[in-house]
Amino acid sequence: MATWNPWQHMERVRRDIDHAFEQAGWQTNGHNGHHGHNGRTFQTAFLPGRAARAYPLVNVNEDAQALYVTALAPGLDPAAVQVSVQDNRLTIAGEKQRLSTDIQPEAFHRSERAAGKFVRTVTLPVEVEQEHVQADYKHGLLTVTLPKAEKAKPTQITVSLGA
């Protein structure tokens, strides 16, 4: 039988707070000290930094018919982007192209754009029709349209007027 343990509860709260700070780009001193932050704490509002964190960032929109996942991913080769759906998990994988290695390191004035391979999985809130998922890449935004499964669509119920 489970008993209420206040210390365990506090530990969970502490982890939640750490998690919230990490999402904002702040490095907490706890369990994630391995993140390479280069001494920087806050990153640009949403753009890819050098920190190990969720990339690409996604927004999820919804209407009665479908879910729309928009990922912020400039500089990809559209042919190399892999979008897959399994059960209610959407996975986006790809590679942001690096600059040519011909450029000498000393020629750089600034180097802020991160590059490299990434994979991100988003758990979807409802069931979707996997065969009809569409992905579209435009101006550096990847939009995945996932039509909802029939049983996940809202049903309109007519209210009958009682006599």
Partner 1 sequence: MAESTVAMPETEQTQAVTQAENPSVETTRPREYSLTPPVDIYETPESLVVMADMPGIDPAHLDVRVDNDILTLRGQTQHQASGDPRYREYTLMSFFRQFELGERIDQEGIRADLKHGVLTLTLPKAAQAQPRAITINAA
Using CB under 8 A, which of 90, 92, 133, 137 touches partner 1? Answer: 137
Q: How far apart are CA 61 and CA 3, in angstroms?
A: 40
How far apart are the C-alpha atoms of 84 and 82, rounded to whole Å?
A: 6
Q: How far is the CB of 1 from partner 1 (least distance, A)?
A: 37
Q: Which of residues 20-79 bind partner 1 (CB under 8 A)?
A: 44-49, 54, 57-63, 66-68, 70, 72-76, 78
Q: Which is nearer to partner 1, 141 or 152 (CB)?
A: 141
Amino acid at 41: T
Binding residues for partner 1, total number by CB under 8 A: 41
Q: For strands 82-86 and 89-96, give the pairing.
A: antiparallel
Assess 103 for contact with partner 1 (CB under 8 A): yes
User: Which of 123, 155 has the CB closer to partner 1?
Assistant: 123
State in angstroms the smallest separation of the CB of 70 from partner 1.
5
Q: Which residues contact 77 (CB under 8 A, 6 or more apart)?
A: 94, 95, 97
Distance CA 63, CA 41 (A): 37
Question: Phi-psi category of 54—alpha, beta or left, where left has phi over 0 and alpha has psi -120 to 50?
Answer: beta
For partner 1, which is the closer residue by CB, 27 or 66?
Answer: 66
Cα 87 off chain centre by: 17
Q: Which residues bind partner 1 (CB under 8 A)?
A: 44-49, 54, 57-63, 66-68, 70, 72-76, 78, 99, 103, 107-114, 125, 137, 139-141, 143, 145
